[in-house]
């Protein structure tokens, strides 16, 4: 029996995914990683969708915002929990994934988070992990996009620098502005 304060996981069709890339950066307070997961078989999804993972330890659903790459891979960016200097249960498990490891997860559509179709220019604001869906949206964008990203330091920017530099070269990212936080 699940206690009242814990939300039951949704009944979602589970998909098999394969880890194709796990770019890890930093340790402790600066720990972060960019994970690329490729669906086994055909799977339609859009950047901004949510990946639902339910660990067997506590049966509580965890949701991760996805970016979609041109290769139909799921991009997830995860940062260490600042309060406890650790990853959560599922984030820690994802951090440990190696290339070709498989996992089972559900896909949740997110109808309210996508690129506007008629806008000529788009401004994206992301702090830390919020950049994940934008990495995919940039690959689909036909608009001029300005991305403002905020994080603790340059190390947190490293895992997806390559994705954003490629978006600038391809012309889908017209402006990139970094806002780095200072802790005294």
In order along its 184 residues, the chain shows pLDDT tens digits of: 444 545 555 678 889 999 998 877 766 666 778 889 999 988 899 999 999 988 877 778 888 989 898 888 998 888 765 554 456 788 888 888 999 999 999 999 888 888 888 888 899 988 766 788 888 888 888 788 999 988 777 777 777 788 888 889 988 899 999 888 765 4
Report pTM.
Answer: 0.77
DSSP string of 72-107?
A: S-EEEEEE-BTTTTB--HHHHHHHT--TT-EEEEEE
pLDDT at 174: 92
- The pair of three-digit structure tokens given for residue 30, joined into one six-digit string: 């600066």
The sign of the dihedral angle between the CA atoms of 119, 120, 123, 129 is: positive
pLDDT at 146: 93
pLDDT at 34: 83
């Amino acid at each position: 029996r699940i206690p009242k304060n814990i939300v039951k996981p949704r009944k979602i069709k589970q998909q098999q995914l394969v880890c194709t890339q796990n770019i890890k950066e930093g340790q402790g307070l600066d720990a972060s990683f960019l994970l690329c997961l490729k669906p086994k078989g055909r799977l339609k999804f859009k950047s901004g969708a949510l990946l639902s993972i339910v660990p067997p330890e506590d049966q509580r659903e965890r949701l991760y915002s996805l970016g979609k790459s041109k290769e139909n891979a799921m991009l997830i960016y995860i940062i260490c929990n600042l309060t406890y200097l650790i990853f959560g249960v599922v984030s820690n498990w994802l951090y440990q994934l190696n290339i070709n490891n498989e996992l089972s997860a559900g896909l949740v559509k997110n109808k309210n988070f996508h690129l506007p179709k008629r806008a000529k220019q788009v401004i994206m604001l992301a702090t830390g992990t919020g950049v994940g869906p934008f990495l995919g949206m940039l690959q689909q964008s036909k608009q001029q996009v300005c991305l403002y990203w905020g994080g603790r330091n340059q190390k947190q920017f490293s895992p997806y620098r390559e994705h954003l530099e490629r978006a600038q070269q391809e012309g889908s990212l017209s402006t990139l502005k970094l806002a780095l936080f200072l802790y005294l």
